[in-house]
Structure 1
Amino acid sequence: MKGASAAKASRRMEIELKCRLPPSAVAPLLRHPALAAVARGRPRGQRLYSVYYDTPDLALSRHKLALRVRREGRRGWTQTVKAEGRVAGGLHQRSEWEAPVAGELPDPTKVDAPQVKELLQAPQVRRRLTPVFVTDFRRQRVDLEFPDGTRAELAVDRGTIRAHGRTEAVTELEVELIEGSARTLFAFALELARALPIEVEVFSKAERGYRLAAGEGPPVVKARHPSLEPAMSVEEAFCHIVAGCVAQLQGNVEGMRRGEDVEHLHQMRVALRRARSALATFSKALPKPLTAPVRQALKWLTGELAPARDWDVFVTETLPPILAAFPDHAGLTALRDAAQRLRGEARIRAQEATLGQRYRGLVLGVGAWLEARSWREGLDGSSRRRMAAPVVPFAQAVLARRHRQLLQRGRHHVRLGAAELHRLRILGKKLRYACEFFASLFPARATRPYLAALQALQDVLGAINDAATTERLMNEIAARVPDALVAEGIGVVSDWSARLAAQRRTELDDAWKRFAKREPFWDGR
């Protein structure tokens, strides 16, 4: 580059499929026939050494920016600023700005984007930039050209992230789109994943580096209300919502496997419920036969994780107050020990489910399904029109229908038995998920009071349902651990749970009335 233009950063949209794999899989990957079929030239290797900068109070991270200065082999230094983007099934899309710099120190003047430039050149940021962590890895690159004309670059990174004396190993596969279709990248990754332990990576090296610098483990990734736009079509909103569910699912899997925090498993269950609810929410536009393979895959994984989550809740939430009330009860102690054993077995089952090819294929497969819009070939004319229609009228119709169904089912809630209350709870949960999916399309001042009242109703119904779950678990322990002391503990827990459920039933009427008087927020848009 020559002249003034060389001093400025160039902006581009980076689109890449990012996966992680064990070091032992790298050699088989580079020999894989699927790679040989599309590789153009031999792998090229080089060392990439990068220093990531931020202020001591992490001002850039708070603004969802990453600033790095990288040296590639013997070449000079390049500064890159990356903005937060979106992740859909492992496909990362984000803006980035690159510019050459003189050395290892960043130069905030070499960013043109107004908002990014304003932040980086603010005195309280520019003067306080300091190294936060370093990545040091060897990259092997291969140019790819697919039969449909898609061009990409495959990169395998092996090395470390270092921060404050801590080190984390990195082995990643990235396939960056240069020209063509992202769906081709997914098809390629799926073929590799059938033979190799490759799985989607939802976190960037920068995110992992910040965690390492803070001494934190895998984060608990909670659901966020999707950011939908009124100009979106029904199909676009559907893809955005389901992609968010998959990102939440995969974002918690590493923490769940470690088993250090029960909340990772909980949030994986939430992600699965939301994904299944999203498929049901859009079924008037996207007929169920076209989503059947995805629904079956999600149902399988739900079944694998459910026992572990049930035992987590029992051991960490249900049992502790009972033990506190009866601290010297030998039967409760025996019951706790038995429950811990069953919990351990269920957790191993859940962890093993996520380590297999079936799980890896699920996450990659749903990402490919979304990117390729694979359902389009099966749509009739009416469904095509519904999927192409604006999302707001569709959302209003869905919310009105689910609101009406819940009101009708709950009219005589004081007379409903346990099974009917469970069905009422499920209707409420479907309505709440639909509200959360579409909330960004409506004014927050209207959605918040409605959602708060619905959540309060859900809390009461959930507490009542917990008694049924507890009773089912007690029956399982009784069958699998036929012990007299354990049976005594089961009796105490069953009595406690029944009394608690009866108490919560007295709260149901008030929660119902507060919800029923709330005006629907979608009518007055």
Structure 2
Amino acid sequence: MADTKREIERKYESDDSGLPDLTGVAGVAEVLDKGTAELDATYYDTSDLRLASASITLRRRTGGSDAGWHLKLPVGPGVRDEIQVPLSDTVPDELAGLVRARVREGQLVPVVRLRSARDVRDLVDAEGKQLAEVGVDTVRAERLFGGDGTAQWTEIEVELADGGDIRVLDKVEKRLRKSGVRPSKSSSKLARALAETKGGQPRPEAEPAEPVTAGDHVLAYVRAQRDAVVDLDPAVRQDTEESVHDMRVATRRLRSTFKSFGKVLDREVTDPIGDELKWLAGELGVGRDQEVLAERLNTVLDELAPTLVHGPVRDRLAAWSKAEYGGARSRLLGVLDSPRYLALLDTLDAVVADPPVLEAAAKNPEKVLAKAVRKDFAKVAALIEEGMEQPSGADRDLGLHEARKKAKRTRYAAEAAGPALGGPAKALVKSMKSLQSLLGDHQDSVMVRTTLGELAAVAHAAGENTFTYGLLYGREERRAERVEEAAPEAWATAKDGMDV
């Protein structure tokens, strides 16, 4: 069973003088000597150090109070999420899965061994509560793969206690700096070991230059969304809140960008990639759409007076939600482990590394990007008008749903063009987001009514009272009508503000 914790720490260079006196740090009442721990850690990575290049560490460590396998995923400067599982001889499947989007078809091999003598101190307040742990580590590094050689150094590591106040680290750092101690130049022990042993460290992907051409701007957006998909993969596997939604949005942004900027990137190359992105978004949506429906159904049910809830409606809704979620979750994990998904990630990497640019990619971004955005905006206009001309019912529902999708595409195109077009693009993003949200309420109502009909049919077959389902269905119809009444004015506002 995995255990996850948020690790907030800072590292400092050290010399033979060891740890300065920290009893003068504000709020620290006592520095407790916790003894010395002997730690032995072997770090795993691919032969080309894909994990290290993403500031991810995977290790098997013995000694100390937390022996086991540790996977550390970066969250921000000095902040990482650490996932721990018990000791075993081989890389645990659970941790291997969390780095699969990076490793893909590669193999994880031992690359560095670190043996450390850690002199541990606890900083506690007047009530004996731990504020932070300070360790002075004497480290011996040995390269196991991709090079050879050894290195040795001493460092100070200050880790915030669980639930602690980040200001404690600031106060400790102030004291350390006054004593001449400086922050470490390396982000982790592994990074330093790789840098100081023969074989070197991972070569980071070159930072792109400031966008100049139309192609530069489009590719910057594509690169950001590619990175988002890969970065979110572990969070999706861990079922972190909003992670599925965020990855789905990234896939949609990529697909929309390929369509919107077909004059910049060759659609003969990107259309097949778009088909795979559509597949992935659909798989991500199986669980996400069900989750949204469940939230909406529970919300509208909570709005009813108890006297209007007839029969075991809540129990049936809970059972439906649990059954649907469990199946969707298992299916999604299978998708993320599939060769098809990993091949898609490889393809996205190839597009970023060797983009299929067309002639317009080298042209002035203001002209090329604005033209593409205006073209998408015109499609939204046509679909809104066409949808509202349909009689109330399935045809109008479908028309407004298509308009919503095109509004979303226009929003993403404006986002990509934002750095080049400035304020007008930002204003369009805002108006399209509002229109998209409004039409999204309409589509949610359509889906909720469909689900209510299905639940009512099952309840009726079981001999249950279906009054509440019908009542909720009627309320959702009215909700959709209100959106339809507001849509023309929302569209008129967006059209009047169009200045791209």
Give the corresponding residue for 1:176. Answer: 202
Give the corresponding residue for 2:140. Answer: 73
Deviation of residue 480 (structure 1)?
7.9
User: Secondary structure of the residue that 2:401 maps to in structure 1?
Assistant: helix
- 1:153–1:17 CA distance, 2 compared to 1 (3 A): farther
Give the corresponding residue for 1:471. Answer: 449
- In structure 2, distance between residues paired with 1:73 and 1:438: 50
- In structure 1, distance between residues paired with 2:182 and 2:456: 60
Q: Is the 8 A contact 1:335 1:489 kept in 2?
A: no
Give the corresponding residue for 2:311. Answer: 330
Amino acid at match of 1:268: M
Q: Is the 8 A contact 1:252 1:268 kept in 2?
A: yes
Give the corresponding residue for 1:395. Answer: 369
Deviations for 1:137-168, whole angstroms, at most 9, x for unmatched residues? 699979xxxxxxxxx958xxxxxxxxxxxxxx
- 1:48–1:493 CA distance, 2 compared to 1 (3 A): farther
User: Secondary structure of the residue that 1:325 maps to in structure 2?
Assistant: coil
Q: Give the alignment partner of residue 104 of structure 1, picking from 128, 137, 155.
A: 155
Deviation of residue 431 (structure 1)?
0.9
- 1:17–1:102 CA distance, 2 compared to 1 (3 A): closer
Q: Give the alignment partner of residue 366 of structure 1, picking from 325, 333, 348.
A: 348
Give the corresponding residue for 2:217. Answer: 237
Amino acid at match of 2:389: R
Q: Which has the higher contact order (CA 8 A, sep 6+)?
A: 1
Amino acid at match of 1:415: E
- In structure 2, distance between residues paired with 1:285 and 1:294: 15
Is residue 336 of structure 2 the alignment partner of residue 354 of structure 1?
A: yes
Q: Is the 8 A contact 2:137 2:156 kept in 1?
A: no
Q: Is the 8 A contact 1:45 1:139 kept in 2?
A: no
Determine what percentage of the aligned residue pairs are the same residue. Answer: 20
Amino acid at match of 1:339: S
* Structure 2 counterparts to residues 205-244 of structure 1, below 5 A: 229=210, 231=212, 233-244=213-224
Q: Is the 8 A contact 2:141 2:193 kept in 1?
A: no
Is residue 470 of structure 2 the alignment partner of residue 491 of structure 1?
A: yes
Deviations for 1:232-282, whole angstroms, at most 9, x for unmatched residues? x33333322122112222322222222252x11111111111111111112
The worse-fitting range, judged by mean Cα deviation, of 296-305 and 249-258 is 249-258
Give the corresponding residue for 2:20. Answer: none
- 1:318–1:517 CA distance, 2 compared to 1 (3 A): farther
Amino acid at match of 1:359: Y
Q: Give the alignment partner of residue 508 of structure 1, picking from 461, 472, 487.
A: 487
Q: Is the 8 A contact 1:45 1:140 kept in 2?
A: yes
The count of corresponding residues between Structure 1 and Structure 2 is: 359
Q: Is the 8 A contact 1:228 1:440 kept in 2?
A: no
Higher radius of gyration, 1 or 2: 2
Amino acid at match of 1:323: D
Give the corresponding residue for 1:255. Answer: 235
- In structure 2, distance between residues paired with 1:280 and 1:480: 42
User: Secondary structure of the residue that 1:73 maps to in structure 2?
Assistant: strand
- 1:74–1:353 CA distance, 2 compared to 1 (3 A): closer
TM-score by length of 1: 0.56
- In structure 1, distance between residues paired with 2:225 and 2:437: 22
Amino acid at match of 1:320: T
Amino acid at match of 2:91: P
Deviation of residue 230 (structure 1)?
5.3
Deviations for 1:187-225, whole angstroms, at most 9, x for unmatched residues? xxxxxxxxxxxxxxxxxxxxxxxxxxxxxxxxxxxxxxx
Amino acid at match of 1:512: W
- In structure 2, distance between residues paired with 1:305 and 1:365: 19
Is residue 302 of structure 2 the alignment partner of residue 302 of structure 1?
A: no
Deviation of residue 307 (structure 1)?
1.6
User: Secondary structure of the residue that 1:23 maps to in structure 2?
Assistant: coil
Amino acid at match of 1:363: L
- In structure 2, distance between residues paired with 1:487 and 1:386: 59
Deviation of residue 488 (structure 1)?
5.4
Q: Give the alignment partner of residue 315 of structure 1, picking from 289, 294, 303.
A: 294
Q: Is the 8 A contact 1:47 1:72 kept in 2?
A: yes
- In structure 2, distance between residues paired with 1:50 and 1:243: 42
- In structure 2, distance between residues paired with 1:265 and 1:434: 22
Deviations for 1:446-469, whole angstroms, at most 9, x for unmatched residues? 444443333222221111111222
- In structure 2, distance between residues paired with 1:50 and 1:406: 64
Is residue 416 of structure 2 the alignment partner of residue 437 of structure 1?
A: yes
- 1:462–1:330 CA distance, 2 compared to 1 (3 A): same
User: Secondary structure of the residue that 2:202 maps to in structure 1?
Assistant: strand
- In structure 1, distance between residues paired with 2:304 and 2:354: 56
Deviation of residue 397 (structure 1)?
0.8
Give the corresponding residue for 1:265. Answer: 244
Deviation of residue 412 (structure 1)?
6.4
